[in-house]
Amino acid sequence: MNTCTAVALLPPPRHVIALSVPGHRPEAGHVLCELGENHDADHAAMLWDEGGRPGSAVWARWSEERAELASLPWCPARDAREEACGLFAGHPPGHSWEITDPIDEAITRGLGLV
């Protein structure tokens, strides 16, 4: 399945604003949903990971009405090569290895890596 194409605009975190030069507010950044297309529930994108421990990754989750940040444990599933799923526990169907980003694919093919 392909990736969901939802995009969210998030305001910069407060600590980034605190570090920025006065008068130059950082602009909102956009994040892309990492789930498989046509998923149910909220869109989700990982913002940062503080070392691979359970609950160390911070995710943005959003829907039409709201957005929230949450620390979520990793999905415990592994593929046939023992690669860990790159999504959070309890994500909608489609582990990370079942989801292909058509843009990534096109770039990889264009570079002759496949």
Burial of 46 (0-12, 13-18, 19+ CB in 10 A): middle
From 16-24, 49-57, 60-68, 78-86, span contacting Zn ion (CB under 5 A): 78-86
Query: Angle CA(95)–CA(97)–CA(100) in degrees, nearest 5?
Result: 105
> Applying CB under 5 A, which of residues 77, 84, 92, 100 lies at the interface with Zn ion?
77
Q: Is 99 in the site for Zn ion (CB under 5 A)?
A: no
Considering only residues 26 to 55 of the shown chain, the ones binding Zn ion according to CB under 5 A are 33, 35, 43
HSE (CB half, 13 Å, CA atoms) of 25? 7
Q: How far is the CB of 113 from Zn ion (least distance, A)?
A: 24
- Contact by Cβ (8 Å): 45, 59: yes
- Contacting positions for Zn ion (CB under 5 A): 4, 6, 33, 35, 43, 75, 77, 85, 87, 95
